[in-house]
């Protein structure tokens, strides 16, 4: 047993004025990172704890151990950590606690198990940890406080997917799926009900045959059965992992749960957004009634109750000066609705952008038989798909067989290339295609495998003449 001081826990507020002292702390884990290797020989994880004396910023704690196993394996944000003999240190303007493997100890307790005094067994503790009866009341009191505590997040700290920018940001979103797409290549799929901003596309159209613009960030398309479990409105952001991030902790991201990510890196590749979970990314305590989550759900409910709620947010109000479609009475659907539709043959009306075309040269749009035969890559906030323009559908789209100049102009308008850009160099410059309405139909070419050979084609869509 230690000295009398061992029985005392400092509040976080008091710890702030105990610089260079060894203290005992107990707090709720507000956020935590995955274990990572230090530049020395050890492993480290940092977490942030709060208590009723300091629930806005709390205090950051850095924990070191010889290996990742000995670090705290936090089961969930909101759990309780008891820290003994940690040193309070000042780093710049920040004050934090440092766990030293030689003299510090920790124990982890569930946070939301209720206030049963008998249920205070730690689910993990370090080698130097000694459990004492006196600790139990602290655990019970913290759990009681947590029940009544309402985490006040500043919404401006957690942009929605519709507001994201490249760089480091926080995200509050729902885990839709998590899988290993290739050997040691994991993806998390997240959603918050809004549409990610569309990006300029920089691909070389001449290379579309040999190096097609990808349809999704993951290398292979996901099976349709899986896509059918995804929401069909709102973007699904793919998150990959930086090297050095331990994938053994992915169970902390269960499908269906809303979670707040802190310090996630966001990038755009081939015009597609994706997040990168870095060694500095942390998970933040996200109760089910978190104010940010409730607001996301409210905005989504409001969105899908609107008649135009399935259209890309940034396409509204929709300009109809590029294409005209039939089916005025049919509501617009998303490309994800199209991909996950229950029937293999069906007709749809969508708003999408043409991000690539094959062939690109107008003189090659017709097959040796003289009929149209081309492939467009369509994009909306939910998905990219290939859609063919064939025979009579091409005659409708381009209004018969116009001269090459006219055909070029029409195709360029779909692709977002202005006429004055029509020099060879400018064609490869960044494109920002407009949102345009399309009629799409799905069809199959092999009766023995109708889903395996399902394709999409554009029909009843006409590029309107410029005024």
Partner DNA sequence: TTGGGG
For binding to DNA (CB under 7 A), which residues are involved?
33, 38-42, 44, 46, 60, 62, 64, 89, 91, 94, 96, 98, 100-102, 167-168, 263, 278-280
Question: Judged by CB, which is closer to DNA: 11, or 60?
Answer: 60
Question: Judged by CB, which is closer to DNA: 93, or 403?
Answer: 93
Report in angstroms how near the CB of residue 280 gets to DNA at its nearest.
4
Report in angstroms how near the CB of residue 41 gets to DNA at its nearest.
6
Q: Dihedral sign, CA of 351, 357, 360, 363?
A: negative
- DSSP-assigned letters across all residues of 334-384: -HHHHHT-SSSSEEEEEEEEEEEEES-SGGGSB-TTSSBEEEEEEEETTEE
Question: Judged by CB, which is closer to DNA: 41, or 148?
Answer: 41
Report in angstroms how near the CB of residue 429 gets to DNA at its nearest.
29
Report in angstroms how near the CB of residue 265 gets to DNA at its nearest.
8
Question: Judged by CB, which is closer to DNA: 128, or 204?
Answer: 128
Question: Judged by CB, which is closer to DNA: 40, or 256?
Answer: 40
Question: Judged by CB, which is closer to DNA: 39, or 329?
Answer: 39
Q: Distance between terminal CA atoms of the chain?
A: 88
CA neighbor of 121 nearest in space, from 65, 82, 78: 82
Q: Dihedral sign, CA of 19, 23, 27, 29?
A: positive
Report in angstroms how near the CB of residue 118 gets to DNA at its nearest.
35
- DSSP-assigned letters across all residues of 80-127: EEEEEEEEEEEETTEEEEEE-TTT-EEEEE-SSS-S-TT----SEE-T
DSSP H helices, 165-216, are none
Question: Judged by CB, which is closer to DNA: 88, or 233?
Answer: 88
Report in angstroms how near the CB of residue 65 gets to DNA at its nearest.
9
Both tokens assigned to 381: 């906030």
Question: Judged by CB, which is closer to DNA: 35, or 122?
Answer: 35
The length of the chain is 467
Rounded CA-CA distance 407/409 in Å is: 5
Report in angstroms how near the CB of residue 163 gets to DNA at its nearest.
17
Question: Judged by CB, which is closer to DNA: 48, or 431?
Answer: 48
Q: E-strand spans in 161-244? A: 167-182, 185-191, 236-241
Rounded CA-CA distance 451/457 in Å is: 15
**Contact between 376 and 359 (Cβ < 8 Å):** no
Burial of 216 (0-12, 13-18, 19+ CB in 10 A): middle
Rounded CA-CA distance 64/268 in Å is: 35
Both tokens assigned to 236: 């699904």
Question: Judged by CB, which is closer to DNA: 96, or 286?
Answer: 96
Report in angstroms how near the CB of residue 98 gets to DNA at its nearest.
4
φ and ψ of 425, to 5 deg: -65, -45
Report in angstroms how near the CB of residue 59 gets to DNA at its nearest.
10
DSSP H helices, 196-247, are 224-227
Q: Say which residues have a Cβ less than 8 Å from residue 247's Cβ, sequence separation at least 6.
A: 184, 186, 241
Report in angstroms how near the CB of residue 84 gets to DNA at its nearest.
16
**Contact between 17 and 59 (Cβ < 8 Å):** no
Q: How many CB atoms lie within 10 A of CB 340?
A: 19
Report in angstroms how near the CB of residue 321 gets to DNA at its nearest.
41
Question: Judged by CB, which is closer to DNA: 62, or 84?
Answer: 62
């Amino acid at each position: 047993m230690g000295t009398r001081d061992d029985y005392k826990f400092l509040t976080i507020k008091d710890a702030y004025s105990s610089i260079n002292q060894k203290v005992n702390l107990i707090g709720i884990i507000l956020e935590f990172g995955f274990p990572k290797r230090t530049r020395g020989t050890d492993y480290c994880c940092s977490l942030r704890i709060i208590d009723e004396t300091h629930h806005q910023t709390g205090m950051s704690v850095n924990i070191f151990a010889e290996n990742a196993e000995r670090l705290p394996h936090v089961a969930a944000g909101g759990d309780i950590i008891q820290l003994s003999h940690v040193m309070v240190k000042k780093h710049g303007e920040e004050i934090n606690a440092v766990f030293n493997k030689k003299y510090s100890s920790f124990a982890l307790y569930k946070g939301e198990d209720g206030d049963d005094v008998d249920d205070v067994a730690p689910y993990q503790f370090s080698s130097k940890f000694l459990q004492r009866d006196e600790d139990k009341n602290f655990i019970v009191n913290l759990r009681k406080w947590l029940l009544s505590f309402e985490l006040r997040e500043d919404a401006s700290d957690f942009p929605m997917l519709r507001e994201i920018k490249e760089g480091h940001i926080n995200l509050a979103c729902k885990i839709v799926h998590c899988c290993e797409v290739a050997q040691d290549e994991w993806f998390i799929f997240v959603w918050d009900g809004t549409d990610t901003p569309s990006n300029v596309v920089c691909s070389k159209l001449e290379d579309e045959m040999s190096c097609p613009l990808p349809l999704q960030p993951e290398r292979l398309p996901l099976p349709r059965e899986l896509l059918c479990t995804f929401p069909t409105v709102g973007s699904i952001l793919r998150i990959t992992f930086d090297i050095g991030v331990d994938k053994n902790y992915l169970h902390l991201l269960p499908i269906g749960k809303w979670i707040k990510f802190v310090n996630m890196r966001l990038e755009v590749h081939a015009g597609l957004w994706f997040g990168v979970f870095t060694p500095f990314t942390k998970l933040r305590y996200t109760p089910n009634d978190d104010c940010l989550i409730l607001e996301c759900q409210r905005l989504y409910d409001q969105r899908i109750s609107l008649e135009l709620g399935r259209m890309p947010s940034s396409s509204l109000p929709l300009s109809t000066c590029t294409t005209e479609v039939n089916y005025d009475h049919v509501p617009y659907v998303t490309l994800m609705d199209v991909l996950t539709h229950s029937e293999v043959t069906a007709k749809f009306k969508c708003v999408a952008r043409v991000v690539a075309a094959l062939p690109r040269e107008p003189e090659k749009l017709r097959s040796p038989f003289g009929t149209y035969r081309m492939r467009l890559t369509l994009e909306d906030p939910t998905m990219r798909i290939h859609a063919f323009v064939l025979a009579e559908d091409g005659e409708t789209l381009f209004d018969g067989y116009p001269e090459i100049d006219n055909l070029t102009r029409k195709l360029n308008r779909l692709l977002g290339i202005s006429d004055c850009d029509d020099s060879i160099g400018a064609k490869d410059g960044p494109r920002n295609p407009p949102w345009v309405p399309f009629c799409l139909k799905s069809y199959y070419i092999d009766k023995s495998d109708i889903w395996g050979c399902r394709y999409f084609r554009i029909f009843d869509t006409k590029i309107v003449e410029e005024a």
